[in-house]
Amino acid sequence: MTRVLIISASESDLIVMREAAKVLDEFGVEYELTISSAHRSPDRSVKLVKNFYGSDGKVIICGAGLAAHLAGVVAAHFPLPVIGVPLKNKGGLEGLEGLDALLSTMQMPSGIPVATVGIDNAKNAGILAVQILATSDKNLERKLVDYKKKLARIVEEKAKQLSSRT
């Protein structure tokens, strides 16, 4: 059963959004990765969301740059958690570095929340999706505990290496 839907607003953003997919693969969570745009293909976006919800999907991750309305449009049609990944624009609007997308994604109107991760941080979106699913899946919860312990061990090892060099 596909539990997470990852929607990239454009093909050029897939390289970033695949980071969420890698996390879901690591945790054994089934997902679908697709492309749809809130502006260029709004009907497709709504249909994807409604079909996903009808198939018992649980979490949607949306990545978009510039105006970044995709996560908000999805959240308006999906009653379960939506995670927004604001993306840097790769199309020539230099200087904003994704801040436009960050503000568009996180400044949702009351009643339509979107959990928002850092700019281009689809990996954290994947981890957050796993954490959400783990609230009702003990196997995923155990995997998350092990993952966090691994992160702590890596820091301890790096600290030990550093102190041995000084």
pLDDT per residue as tens digits for the range 82-127: 999 999 977 665 668 899 999 999 999 999 999 999 999 999 999 9
Q: Which residues contact 75 (CB under 8 A, 6 or more apart)?
A: 82, 108, 112, 113, 114
User: What is the chain's pLDDT, residue by residue, as a tens digit (166 residues)?
Assistant: 899 999 999 999 999 999 999 999 999 999 999 999 999 999 999 999 999 999 999 999 999 998 889 999 999 999 999 999 999 977 665 668 899 999 999 999 999 999 999 999 999 999 999 999 999 999 999 999 999 999 999 999 999 999 888 7
In total, the chain counts a number of residues equal to: 166
Do 142 and 131 lie in one domain? The reply is no
- If asked whether residues 32 and 114 sit together in one domain, one would say yes
* ∠ Cα 126 35 64 (to 5°): 65
Q: What is the pTM of this model?
A: 0.94
Q: Does one domain contain both 13 and 39?
A: yes
Structural domain for 146, as ranges: 138-166
Q: What is the largest CA-CA distance in the chain?
A: 60
Please give the pLDDT value at position 15. Answer: 95
Return d(Cα 136, Cα 140) in angstroms, integer: 9
**Within this chain, do residues 25 and 73 fall inside the same structural domain, yes or no?**
yes
pLDDT, the chain, mean: 94
For 58, phi then psi, to 5°, come to -115, -35
- CATH number of the domain residue 64 falls in: 3.40.50.1970
Q: Are residues 102 and 162 in the same domain?
A: no
Q: Are residues 20 and 49 in the same domain?
A: yes
Can you give the pLDDT at residue 136? 96
One-letter amino acid of 161: Q
